[in-house]
Structure 1
């Protein structure tokens, strides 16, 4: 019975992750439930119930041409974990990170990876990112596992980059990008791609797929079409800070060099009009010579009495 319950919880977690990657991040049909052969079963057996591991499961695999580096293929190796009766804890964190890092070690030498890269042409190199999606029903939707990471020691060597999408991070995407896709329609909201100077062949400065660097960035920019108007909306995942707002203003100026935007919207998780409005007005006066501050609007991710 416990095995059936665990399987059901796992399936619910994968369904949530599938929705997030498709509806928010723009990656269609990414969850496949594939397996790869374990190439180091003896060393990896510690996370396989005391017996030598033979395979690693892949809950999802996504790819996208990098928007930061020219002719680089970004590949996401996805592992999904969901808990319903227990919350975030160090023991499970250590286990989940070890599991995905061991899977990545074998994935990087697998036929699945080489076959996946063949789908893309004119690529000079690839970079693999491990994406651990860990959802906890018991914890608050704004809870983060960052408090546990500093004390965690991992037994297997971490030779790959791993990003963890927890309740807090996923809630940020849901309250911002997903909300606006529902308001303006999915096809009208596009992610803005930065010009890094290393991507001269970039064909478009916005698109439907979330660039991988946005997975761990506190600032996300989107382009929104609303009838004949074009908006730039920049979300910040943490609390309002004066220096961060100045940086977001500089970013907006860079995007609006031709004065082509009808509105620029800044969205903060904890924006309170009575608390932040005076500081914002003072900063906007400083920027008045560089951008039309009359088209700037400040919002909270979610409308409340405090930010109307």
Structure 2
């Protein structure tokens, strides 16, 4: 349970959690996001989406916070909130970037081998046109173009059986890849996970922001997500909020304490749970 002197920090999945799974709407969460902003609570989008997508989405959400892309592959911290470059980062446009894994090209040979072994069982997102991605995801074509600008991970659309899918996952794991299940795709990438990126960023908040502001803060983390690729951050946070999905079951966690399940789906469930948490922490 949070102590009165602890500062809240929110790590949130996007698709199916903060954004509606079907139409990506944010109407249900805007009032709560405004309350969090008024209370100086940072909301950190932690997503499978790309850097290009987040540059477009962050202003729509009214957020000027760090964000985590491609399932924990990289963290981007706006230079406006942290003037000194954190150790181990590089300067990318207006951000400090911390990468945790190999580039997408690292996995291409293994994926080509998998194509032969699992012929007809999957399609690579990055081999689709923007029109095809838009039809599959419900994104506009411009949004789909941003989704295709991937640096670290390879989303695949699975067409085979459940048994074949498990064999494919085991094959990619033997190649050294991590396979994460999202709301629509399997994501092939390195050993990066949302939870690893979250813990690194928490350390930056504790260390680098302290040096910049001179203010010591004790942080209390809340993570919200709906899918298997959210498990690592849900396990790492002080409070895990599982968002109900119309398309799959709650992600299975090893923890039992500090877990909240939403009654409503997607962003309505997000707003429901965060409103309750804010009421308890007034």
What TM bracket, shorter-length normalisation?
under 0.3
Q: TM-score, normalised by structure 1?
A: 0.26
Q: TM-score, normalised by structure 2?
A: 0.28
Higher relative CO (Cα under 8 Å, sequence separation at least 6) belongs to 2
* Greater C-alpha radius of gyration: 1
